[in-house]
Amino acid sequence: MSLLKSWVHSANDPASPFPLNNLPYGVFSVEDGEMRCGTAIGDRIIDLTGLEEAGTLRADPDADVLDAPFWNDFMELGPTVWTSYRAKLQEMLSADASESVQDALTFFSLPMSDATLHMPFAVSEYTDFYAGRHHAVNVGTMFRGAENALPPNWLHIPIGYNGRASSVVVSGTDIRRPWGQLKSPDHNTPAFLPSRRFDIELEIGAVVGKPSDGPVTVQEADDMIFGYVLLNDWSARDIQAWEYQPLGPFQAKATATSISPWIVTKAALEPFRTNTPPREFELLDHLKDVGPMLYDIDLSVTMAPEGKPPTEIAHTNYNQMYYSAAQQLAHHSTSGCPMNAGDLLGSGTISGPKKTERGSLLELSWGGKEPLTLNTGETRTFIEDGDTLTLSGAAKGDGYTIGFGDCAGKILAALSDPFKR
């Protein structure tokens, strides 16, 4: 597919992350105004709540579904509505749209620079996975040796844990360094201290749009996914090292999870589908691929000390994942647990085979033993107070780019007394 031309001229720039091919969904406000649902096109936002109120473009002829500051009500209408609504929106924003349509949408649009972006959906539940092979091998090698890097189950099922939906925040939200129990050198007498090894995890988040009740197939799971966001699963490695046995991550992952402000629809990513990597073991029938299940999405991470320019510290691609979001969702459903519109599934850290492709500081610094040197001359093993970490992602088409908007967060110093009120 090549670039679809729009009458919004900024959308026709090959470098624009928001061409007519994209049309991601988000929530915005202007100054102290109410939060409204919108879509990004070029350097502008179309106020879709306004179009619904005016009767110009409605997803449901009988109900307002964009009158709340989230996309959950729209998602619950299902894939048929998702497709028809997007097609109508593309038609109204195409270069062939009538002058009257252009005037109507111009009235309900604003410069993106004038808007504040908010969480695009209400997170119902949040599950994070550990489904990137290079990341799992790197971490396993550090802690168990190369011969025991992957546990026996890893090549057969997507490993995951249930996280905190309450601490998922939108890009630009400051992140406070957490306190927690840290193990001592003798591994027996912990201390309660601020985390000293605070880290990122470069991930893609899948947004479930269609609910289920009971097990679903991989194809059904793929059909349930509404879209994708960039996701940073902030991780306190020293808290994690003390707590993770025997039940896995808990407080180390509960501080915050940042996501990008725009939901890039699955439809926008269709041209970029690609296969999962070759496997040593054939997956059981309920997890087998049903076609290309991943996407070719370039990803990068930058680190910027306070008041200083950023340094790119990692560059990789979503096509490195061992399990797709659809396989993760299908596996999640096998217990019979209901999945909800607004559920968020983190892919797990996305790393490639090269050192520059590692999606966490734990890997990049090899557990703190190999400090990174930034463009400023400073070195880092883990995140220091004042550092801003930014995740970026884009799928590159024929003369166009599908972008997500950055996923950024600045680390604030830990509270001097976490219990002081």
Distance CA 366, CA 53 (A): 54
State the DSSP string of 136-147.
HHHHHHHHH-GG
Catalytic, 135? Answer yes
H/E segment holding residue 267: helix 266-269
Distance CA 421, CA 406 (A): 34
- Residues 134, 135, 331, 332: which is the catalytic one? 135
Class of residue 214 by CB neighbours under 10 A (exposed 0-12, middle 13-18, buried 19+): exposed
Going by their DSSP bridges, the two strands 168-170 and 298-304 should be labelled as: unpaired
182-186-188-190 Cα dihedral, nearest 10 degrees: -20
Tokens 């070759």 map to which residue? Answer: 278
Tally the C-alpha atoms within 13 A of residue 276's C-alpha that lie toward its C-beta. Answer: 22
From 279, 308, 296, 290, select the one nearest 384 (Cα to Cα): 308
Contact 311, 409 (CB under 8 A): no
From 391, 392, 394, 367, select the one nearest 381 (Cα to Cα): 367
Going by their DSSP bridges, the two strands 25-29 and 36-41 should be labelled as: antiparallel
Distance CA 14, CA 353 (A): 29
Structure-token pair, residue 315: 């560059």
Phi, psi (degrees; rounded to nearest 5) at 130 = -130, 65
Phi, psi (degrees; rounded to nearest 5) at 105 = -75, -30
User: What Å distances lie between residue 377 and 103, 304, 372, CA to CA?
Assistant: 52, 12, 10
State the DSSP string of 297-346.
-EEEEEEE-TTS--EEEEEEEGGGBSS-HHHHHHHHHTT---B-TT-EEE
Structure-token pair, residue 118: 């908010």
Class of residue 370 by CB neighbours under 10 A (exposed 0-12, middle 13-18, buried 19+): exposed
Positions annotated as catalytic residues are 135
